[in-house]
């Protein structure tokens, strides 16, 4: 299965990608995670990308497309992958079409008000990437990652002023992809306000129907 996951920031793309990656035995490729790993490693890509990410802006297409093309050329992607956070612009979608033939584009639909509410409690483990939320998925010990013991942080771009900007960028630049994939007959839309396991089930059921 070669899937892309669409949805506003905070719609649950990361959680669903992790679940689907296990169920479908294909790698989960998150452009946000790759950028953050580069920022942590202080690589040239990280330095350049970081200046956009901290403002809630998209990293330029040339940088992002090159990075994804490189990742998709690796052998573990031969039998499929789940792209989380890519494409985010029509230019990226066009570039992806030239690289691979997608099975489907899954749109996780969540209204803006719910997104703002969700993102205001988000935390993440900087060491292993596990996501948490003060209301929906609190760690057992406050501020500590259940999985690896790392000290949880609020991502710079999950701070309220940046969240507003990210939502605007989503509506302006990424939401048009819903129409793009709809026209190609690749779109599957699920209700992202259901419990995470139910969203996963809904995605798997919708994909099975298409087979
Ligand atoms: P995410 O973890 O997917 O929410 O991504 C975090 C940030 O990384 C985004 O707000 C963007 O600044 C940047 N980013 C991630 N994926 C892309 C992409 N496909 N194109 C441009 N910027 C991206």
Looking at the chain, the whole-number percentage of residues with pLDDT higher than 90 is 84
Residue 181, ligand 1, Cβ within 6 A:
no
Atom of ligand 1 at shortest range from CA of 88: 19
pLDDT tens profile 71-89: 999 999 999 999 999 999 9
Banded model confidence at residue 159, pLDDT cuts 50, 70, 90: confident
* Exposure of 188 in the CB half-sphere (CA atoms within 13 A): 21
Mean pLDDT of 131-156: 93
Q: What is the predicted pLDDT for the residue at 136?
A: 83
**Interatomic CA distance for residues 17 and 4, integer angstroms:** 9
CB 195 within 8 A of CB 113: no
Residue 52, ligand 1, Cβ within 6 A:
yes
Mean pLDDT of 174-181: 97
Residue 64, ligand 1, Cβ within 6 A:
yes
Residue 174, ligand 1, Cβ within 6 A:
no
Q: What is the predicted pLDDT for the residue at 117?
A: 84
Q: What is the predicted pLDDT for the residue at 147?
A: 96
85 Cα–ligand 1 center, Å: 6
Choose among 205, 183, 190, 144: nearest CA to 15.
Answer: 190
Q: What is the predicted pLDDT for the residue at 162?
A: 84
- Measuring from atom 6 of ligand 1, which residue has the nearest CA? 32
Atom of ligand 1 at shortest range from CA of 169: 10
Looking at the chain, the whole-number percentage of residues with pLDDT higher than 70 is 100
For residue 104, with 0-12 CB atoms within 10 Å meaning exposed, 13-18 middle and 19 or more buried, which class applies?
A: buried
Neighbours of 73 (CB within 10 A): 10
Q: What is the predicted pLDDT for the residue at 193?
A: 96
pLDDT tens profile 18-47: 999 999 999 999 999 999 999 999 999 999
Q: What is the predicted pLDDT for the residue at 38?
A: 94
28 Cα–ligand 1 center, Å: 15
CB 114 within 8 A of CB 83: no
- Residues noted as catalytic: 13, 88, 122, 155, 166
Nearest-10 crossing angle of helices 196-210, 13-24:
60
Mean residue pLDDT of the chain comes to 94
| Residue 49 CA, distance from chain mean position | 16
pTM of the predicted model, to two decimals?
Answer: 0.86
């Amino acid at each position: 299965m070669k899937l892309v996951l669409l949805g506003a920031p905070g719609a649950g793309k990361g959680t669903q990608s992790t679940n689907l990656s296990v169920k479908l035995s294909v790698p989960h490729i998150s452009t946000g995670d790759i950028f953050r790993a580069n920022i942590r490693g202080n690589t040239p890509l990280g330095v350049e990308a970081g200046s956009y990410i901290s403002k809630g802006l998209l990293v330029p297409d040339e940088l992002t497309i090159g990075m994804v093309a490189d990742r998709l050329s690796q052998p573990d992607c031969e039998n499929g992958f789940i792209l989380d956070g890519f494409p985010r612009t029509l230019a990226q979608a066009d570039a992806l079409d030239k690289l691979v033939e997608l099975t489907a584009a899954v749109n996780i639909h969540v209204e803006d008000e719910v997104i703002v509410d969700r993102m205001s409690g988000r935390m993440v483990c900087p060491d292993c990437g596990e996501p948490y939320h003060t209301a929906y998925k609190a760690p057992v010990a406050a501020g500590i990652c259940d999985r690896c013991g790392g000290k949880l942080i609020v991502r710079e771009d999950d701070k309220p002023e940046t969240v507003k900007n990210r939502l605007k960028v989503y509506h302006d630049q990424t939401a048009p992809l819903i129409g793009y994939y709809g026209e190609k007959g690749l779109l599957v839309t699920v209700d992202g306000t259901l419990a995470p396991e139910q969203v996963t089930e809904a995605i798997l059921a919708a994909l099975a129907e298409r087979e």
